[in-house]
C-alpha cells in the first residue's frame, strides 16, 4: 500500500502558494475542510482562486479567507450568505465566476476522469451559455462545458485510511468526491484516520488513488448554518 | 380570496403523481412536502445529495452532516440514500427526477424563467436552478402572481436575465393555475373567489 | 418510499420484446444477471441488440442467447471466449460493434447523466475514431463519443432494498452501476432483497431512483471463468 | 542469451518507482507483479474494478465475485478498494495510474501500437487497451522482439490496425530495452549475451 499520511494540516498545505487555484469541498458549511482552511489563513498567502460551491459565512468556512482578503476570485454556484463577500464583490475587489451547480460538479469530475469537455443543457440561452458552442442533440440545444482543474483540491471526509481511501457521512459528501478527482494534488482531511484494511473495500467512496496527502484533523466545529427543527408531539 | 403561500403549496401537491421523484426548491416549494396526498408515494430529492428526505429533526437531534439544499437540518426516511453532487445532477440532468417545483421572479408566455439575477443588485448565484430547469420534463413554478409593486410576474417576455428557456410547463400563483402552451398562458383554474378579470389584469403575458 | 418490487424474473422481463436494445451488466461471467438471462431464453424473443462488455461463454451467460440465435447485434469491448459467437460473427449472422471498454462505460454513464456527448482520447487515430469528430484539447487530439442508451438495462447486485437501492460485492460491480443509470427501464436482480432502511444510506452504490423493477433471483451459479489459485506453503 | 518471458517481466519491474499505481495487461505484463523490488510500494489496478490487487487465492478460497481483467480469480490486499467500470476508466483516462504495461503485436518507431486486430481473423476486441494507451503518460510494451515467423515486431510503421498513436515510450523484449524517441527506437540495454547486430537485424524500425 502506498502511504499518504502527513502529520498535520501544516504539512499537508506546504506547497500551496499565493496565486494558485484551490478547490475546496463542501456544500454550505457541511463537509468543508475546516483544518486546512485555518491553515491557509495562517499561511497568509493571497491572490487565490477558490473553486467551491459556496463561499462560507462571515465568520466560518471560506469567510475566514475573505476577511483576510486572501481570495482574488471565487468560482461558485451560490454565494448568498456572506456580507463581507457581498461588500468585496460589489466594490470590485473580488472577481466572481458563477457556474450552475450541476455543471460545476460535472466539470470537476470530468477533469479527474480525463474528459476535457462535454455537452450539457444547463445554461443554454442564458448568460452562462454566452460565447460557448451550442449543439443540438435529440432535438435539444446543449452547450459545451470544459473540465475544471486546480493546483490543489482540499476535501474533508468522515473516515480515511492511510492509503487515502475515503468514506463520507450523510450529505457531507457533496462536492468532495468530484473535487478529490480533479486536483493536480489532492489533500484529504478526515475525522478519523485508520489503518489500511480497516475500511470495507466495498464501501469506499473515494479510492485512495485520487489522494496525495491525508491527515486526521485536530478539531471539527461542524457548524450548522440553518438549524431547523420540529417539536415532539 | 387569493391563496396564501401554504395554499399555493397545497394546490401544487395535487399535481404530484404516485411513484414520482420530486425536487422542491427553496421557499413556497418546500411547503409542498407538507401536503402530499396520503394515497400516493413520492420521494424527495435534494440536490446537495439525498433521496428520501424526511421532515426537520426533533430539537436536539440535528446533525451537521445532514442538510438539504437550503442548508437546513433535515432527517432521512427509511430507504434514503446519500450521494455526491455529480451523481445528484446526473439524476437531474438524466431526467430521473419526474418533477421540479421552484420559485421565480418572472415567467414568460413561452415558458422562459428568470429567478437568479437582478442587474445592479447583489447576485447570489443560480445554485442548481439552471440545471434543474434545463433538464426536467416537468417544471411547476410556485410564486405570487405579482411583485411587491403590484407588477405582473407573468410576462410576454422576461425582463431579467434568464435561468432557462422555454422550460416552464405550469405556474401556480396566489390567483390562479396556468399552463404554458404554444399559445401562451392558459387559465386552468382560479383561486376561490378570484375573477377572470382580476387574473387577466394581473397577467401581462397572453 | 416508492416500491419497485416484482415477484420474479418473469414479471420483471415482461415488456421486453424482439428487436429491442438491452444492456446487461457484468464483466466476463462476474456480476451478470443470470436469472433474467434465463428468462430471456424462455421468452424466445429475438433480433436483440445486446450491449454488454463481454458475450459470455458457450454454455453460460449471454452464450445461452447466442445458442438460440436470439441476438442480432452485440455491442461489446471484448468477445474472445465463445466459439458459437466466433462462428456467428465470421459467418456474418451476427453484427458486432466493438467499443473501447472505458468509452463503453462512460457512454452508459453519460446517457444516465443527461450528457449527450463527451470528448475522449481513447480510439483517436484508430478504426474506432473513423468518422468521428476530432478536437484538440490541451494539445492532445480527442474524439467525440455519444451517450449510449437502451430500451432495458438489466443489472445484478448483491443486496437491494424494495425501493431499488443496490449494493455490489467485490469486482461484480463493474458495468452494473453505469448501465443501471442508462436504461429507459432498468431491472435489478439481487441475491438478497431487504426492507427499506436495512441498508446503510451511506453505503449504497446505486440509488433506487435509477431502478424501475427489482426482484430476488431464485438461484445463482456464479460460475468462475478462470480459476487461478496458488498452493499453501 | 535472450530473456524468457519471466526475464522480460523482471526487467520491466526495475522500471517501477515507489508510490506508483500500475496497470498490468494480460500475458507477460501480469508476471511483472512477481518481481517488484522489496524497497518500493506500488499498487496494482485492474480495470474491471479493483485497486490493491493481491496474488491468486489459495485453493478452495476462490471468490467468483473477485476477479481481475483477465477473468482470473484474485485476492485483495489490505487497503484495497472496489469500484465500477466508469470510475475505473476515470482513473486511467485521468492519468491517475502512473504506468501501464501491456503486450503488443507491433510497435512502430514513432510509438504507434497495434495489439487488437488481425484483418481476416477472429477479432476479439480491444477491451480496455485503447483507453489505456491513449491515456497513460507512461507506457511500456512487453513482447518478444520477433513474431513466430521470425519477423520484426518493431517496425517503421505498423501494418496492423492501430490501438493507439504515438503513445509507447519504452519497449522491453527478449533481446533488448529500447526507448521510443523522436529519432525512433533508441537501444538502451541489451539482454545478456545479445549483440547489437542481433538486435539491429531483428528490428525493422530505426
Which CATH number applies to B5-201: 3.30.365.10, 3.20.20.30, 3.20.20.70, 3.40.1080.10?
A: 3.40.1080.10
Mean pLDDT, rounded, for B60-75: 96
CB contact under 8 A, C229 and D70: no
Neighbours of D (≥3 Cβ pairs closer than 8 A)?
Answer: A, C
Q: Return per-residue pLDDT of chain D as tens, 206 residues.
A: 799 999 999 999 999 999 999 999 988 999 999 999 999 999 999 999 999 999 999 999 999 999 999 999 999 999 999 999 999 999 999 999 999 999 999 999 999 999 999 888 888 999 999 999 999 889 999 999 999 999 999 999 999 999 999 999 999 999 999 999 999 999 999 999 999 999 999 999 87
Domains in chain A, number: 1
Residue A69's pLDDT is what? 96
Those of residues 146-175 in D touching chain C at CB distance below 8 A are: 161-166
D163: nearest Cα among D89, D204, D113, D91: D113
Residue D123's pLDDT is what? 86
Residue D38's pLDDT is what? 93
What CA–CA distance (Å, rounded) separates A6 from A11? 6
Which residues of D are identified as catalytic? 47
A121 touches chain C (CB under 8 A): yes
What CA–CA distance (Å, rounded) separates A181 from C7? 40
What CA–CA distance (Å, rounded) separates D143 from D113? 12
Q: Contact at 8 Å (CB) between B175 and B199?
A: yes
Neighbours of A (≥3 Cβ pairs closer than 8 A)?
Answer: B, C, D
Question: Which of D134, D161, D164 to substitute to test the interface with C, most C CBs within 10 Å?
Answer: D134
On the CB side of A31, how many CA atoms lie within 13 Å of its CA? Answer: 36
Domain of A31, CATH number, reads 3.40.1080.10
- Cell matching residue A37: 482552511
Residue C104 has pLDDT above 90, yes or no: yes
- With beta carbons under 8 A apart, name residues in chain C contacting B90: 109, 112-114, 181
Residue B43 is nearest to which of C1, C181, C197, comparing CB atoms? C1
What CA–CA distance (Å, rounded) separates B130 from B139? 12
- Cell matching residue A208: 485512495
Tell me the whole-structure pTM to 2 decimals.
0.97
ipTM of the shown complex: 0.97
Minimum distance, in Å, between the CA of residue A158 and any CA atom of chain B: 10
What CA–CA distance (Å, rounded) separates D86 from C145? 14
- In a domain, residue C225? The reply is no
What CA–CA distance (Å, rounded) separates B83 from B33? 21
What CA–CA distance (Å, rounded) separates B14 from B83? 29
Residue B190's pLDDT is what? 96
- Please list, in sequence order, all residues whose beta carbon lies within 8 angstroms of the beta carbon of residue A92, skipping any fewer than 6 positions away: none
At D126-152, the pLDDT tens digits run: 999 999 999 988 999 999 999 999 999
Residue B206 has pLDDT above 90, yes or no: no
Report in angstroms the alpha-carbon separations of C95 from C71, C86, C90, C98.
9, 11, 10, 10
What CA–CA distance (Å, rounded) separates A73 from A50? 6
- Residue % of chain D over a pLDDT of 70: 100
Q: What H or E segment, with its residue span, contains residue C191? A: strand C183-194
Write down the domain spans for chain B.
Answer: 5-201
Minimum distance, in Å, between the CA of residue A111 and any CA atom of chain B: 12
Q: Contact at 8 Å (CB) between C73 and C93?
A: no
Residue A192's pLDDT is what? 98
Q: Edge-to-edge, what's the strand order for the sheet holding D106-108? A: D113-114, D106-108, D154-155
The residue to which cell 462462428 is assigned: C87
CB contact under 8 A, C173 and D84: yes
The residue to which cell 476522469 is assigned: A113
- Please list, in sequence order, all residues whose beta carbon lies within 8 angstroms of the beta carbon of residue D154, skipping any fewer than 6 positions away: D106, D107, D108, D109, D145, D171, D173, D178, D185, D202, D203, D204, D205
CB contact under 8 A, D130 and C175: no
Residue D136's pLDDT is what? 86
CB contact under 8 A, A113 and D43: no
- Please list, in sequence order, all residues whose beta carbon lies within 8 angstroms of the beta carbon of residue A200, skipping any fewer than 6 positions away: none
Which residues of B are identified as catalytic? 47
Chain mean position to CA B62 = 26
Residue D35's pLDDT is what? 95
CB contact under 8 A, C209 and B43: yes
Residue A82 has pLDDT above 90, yes or no: no
* Number of other CB atoms surrounding residue C92 within 10 Å: 7
What CA–CA distance (Å, rounded) separates B124 from A98? 9
What CA–CA distance (Å, rounded) separates B106 from B118? 11
Q: Contact at 8 Å (CB) between A71 and A42?
A: no
The residue to which cell 376561490 is assigned: B192
- With beta carbons under 8 A apart, name residues in chain A contacting B46: 171
- With beta carbons under 8 A apart, name residues in chain D contacting C76: 125
- In a domain, residue C127? The reply is no
Mean pLDDT, rounded, for A164-187: 98
DSSP D152: B
Residue D184's pLDDT is what? 95
Please work out, in degrees rounded to the nearest 5, the angle formed at the alpha carbon of residue B145 by the alpha carbons of B143 and B149. 110
What CA–CA distance (Å, rounded) separates C68 from C58? 11
Residue C117 is nearest to which of A110, A137, A168, comparing CB atoms? A137
- With beta carbons under 8 A apart, name residues in chain D contacting C169: 65
Residue C121 is nearest to which of D70, D84, D135, comparing CB atoms? D135
CB contact under 8 A, A209 and D21: yes
Residue B123 has pLDDT above 90, yes or no: no
What CA–CA distance (Å, rounded) separates A29 from A171? 11
Q: What H or E segment, with its residue span, contains residue B87? A: helix B85-93
Residue B1's pLDDT is what? 77
- In a domain, residue A166? The reply is yes
Q: In sequence order, which ranges of chain C are alpha helices (DSSP H)? A: 9-13, 34-43, 63-67, 83-90, 101-112, 176-182
Residues of A in CB contact (< 8 Å) with D are 1-3, 109, 111-115, 161-163, 165, 181, 195-197, 201-202, 204, 207-210
What CA–CA distance (Å, rounded) separates D98 from A111? 17
Range of the domain at A159: 9-113+149-216
Report in angstroms the alpha-carbon separations of C162 from B194, C33, C209.
45, 18, 11
**Three-state SS at B82:** strand
- Please list, in sequence order, all residues whose beta carbon lies within 8 angstroms of the beta carbon of residue D195, skipping any fewer than 6 positions away: none
Residue of A nearest to B163 (CA): A126
Task: Give C213's strand partners.
Answer: C187
Residue C2 is nearest to which of B19, B93, B95, comparing CB atoms? B19
At C151-203, the pLDDT tens digits run: 999 999 999 999 999 999 999 999 999 999 999 999 999 999 999 999 999 99
Residue A12 has pLDDT above 90, yes or no: yes
At C106-162, the pLDDT tens digits run: 999 999 999 999 999 999 999 999 999 999 999 999 999 999 999 999 999 999 999
Amino acid at each position: 500500500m502506498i502511504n499518504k499520511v502527513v502529520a498535520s494540516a501544516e504539512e499537508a498545505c506546504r506547497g500551496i502558494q499565493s496565486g494558485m487555484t484551490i478547490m475546496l469541498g463542501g456544500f454550505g458549511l457541511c463537509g468543508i475542510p475546516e483544518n486546512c482552511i485555518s491553515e491557509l489563513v495562517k499561511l497568509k498567502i493571497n491572490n487565490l482562486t477558490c473553486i467551491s460551491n459556496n463561499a462560507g459565512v462571515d465568520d466560518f468556512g471560506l469567510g475566514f479567507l475573505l476577511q483576510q482578503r486572501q481570495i482574488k476570485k471565487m468560482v461558485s454556484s451560490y454565494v448568498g450568505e456572506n456580507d463581507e463577500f457581498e461588500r468585496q464583490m460589489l466594490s470590485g475587489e473580488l472577481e466572481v465566476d458563477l457556474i450552475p451547480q450541476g455543471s460545476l460538479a460535472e466539470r470537476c469530475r470530468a477533469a479527474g476522469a480525463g474528459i476535457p469537455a462535454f455537452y450539457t443543457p444547463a445554461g443554454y440561452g442564458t448568460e452562462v451559455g454566452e460565447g460557448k458552442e451550442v449543439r443540438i442533440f435529440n432535438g435539444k440545444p446543449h452547450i459545451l462545458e470544459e473540465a475544471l482543474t486546480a493546483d490543489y483540491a482540499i476535501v474533508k471526509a468522515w473516515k480515511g485510511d492511510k492509503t487515502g481511501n475515503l468514506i463520507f457521512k450523510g450529505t457531507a459528501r457533496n462536492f468532495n468526491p468530484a473535487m478529490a478527482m480533479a486536483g493536480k494534488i489532492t489533500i484529504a482531511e478526515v475525522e478519523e484516520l485508520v489503518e489500511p484494511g480497516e475500511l470495507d473495500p466495498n464501501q469506499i467512496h473515494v479510492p485512495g488513488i485520487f489522494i496525495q496527502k491525508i491527515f486526521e484533523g485536530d478539531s471539527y466545529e461542524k457548524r450548522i448554518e440553518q438549524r431547523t427543527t420540529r417539536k415532539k408531539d | 380570496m387569493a391563496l396564501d403561500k401554504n395554499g399555493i403549496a397545497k394546490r401544487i401537491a395535487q399535481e404530484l403523481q404516485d411513484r414520482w421523484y420530486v425536487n422542491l426548491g427553496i421557499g413556497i416549494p418546500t411547503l409542498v412536502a407538507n401536503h402530499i396526498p396520503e394515497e400516493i408515494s413520492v420521494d424527495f430529492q435534494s440536490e446537495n445529495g439525498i433521496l428520501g428526505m424526511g421532515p426537520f429533526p426533533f430539537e436536539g437531534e440535528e446533525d451537521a452532516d445532514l442538510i438539504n439544499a437550503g442548508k437546513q437540518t433535515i432527517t432521512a426516511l427509511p430507504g434514503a440514500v446519500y450521494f455526491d453532487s455529480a451523481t445528484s445532477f446526473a439524476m437531474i440532468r438524466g431526467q430521473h427526477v419526474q418533477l421540479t417545483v421552484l420559485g421565480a421572479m418572472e415567467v414568460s408566455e413561452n415558458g422562459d424563467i428568470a429567478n437568479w439575477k437582478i442587474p445592479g443588485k447583489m447576485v447570489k448565484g443560480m445554485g442548481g436552478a439552471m440545471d434543474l430547469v434545463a433538464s426536467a420534463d416537468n417544471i411547476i413554478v410556485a410564486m405570487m402572481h405579482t411583485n411587491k409593486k403590484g407588477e405582473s410576474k407573468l410576462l410576454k417576455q422576461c425582463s431579467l436575465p434568464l435561468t432557462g428557456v422555454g422550460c416552464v410547463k405550469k405556474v401556480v400563483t396566489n390567483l390562479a393555475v396556468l399552463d404554458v402552451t404554444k399559445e401562451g398562458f392558459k387559465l386552468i383554474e382560479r383561486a376561490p373567489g378570484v375573477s377572470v378579470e382580476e387574473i387577466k389584469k394581473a397577467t401581462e403575458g397572453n
